[in-house]
Amino acid sequence: MTRTDFHEKLGFESKDFYKDRGKWKAMTPEEVVDISLQYLDKDKIVCVPGGHYRFISSLFRILPQSVIYEMASSMMRRKK
C-alpha cells in the first residue's frame, strides 16, 4: 500500500486502509520511489517491495480472475 488520498476521494477513511506499522505498513510515495530507484540501479525491472507483497503478487498469477475481482470488491465495500 502506498499512502495517498485515493481512498479519501472515494469517501473512505484513510485509517481503514493504511496501517502505520507492521508488515502491512503503508509506504509514503517517497519511500516507493526510493525503493524503485534502488531496483533500477540493480537492473531489476519489476519492483515489489516486501516479502508479504511479493507473496500476494504471486497469488495473482495462479488465482482465477473471478476470485481476484471478488477479493478486491469485498475490500472496497464501504463499512457502515
Q: What distance lies between CA 23 and its chain's CA centroid?
A: 12
Percent of the chain with pLDDT over 90: 15
Q: What is the pTM of this model?
A: 0.59
Q: Please provide the average confidence, as pLDDT, over all residues in the chain.
A: 82
What pLDDT band is residue 25 in, cutting at 50, 70 and 90?
confident
Query: Has residue 80 got a pLDDT over 70?
Result: no
3 Cβ contact partners less than 8 Å away, ≥ 6 residues apart: 14, 18, 26, 27, 28, 29
Question: What integer pLDDT is reported at residue 19 of this predicted model?
Answer: 77
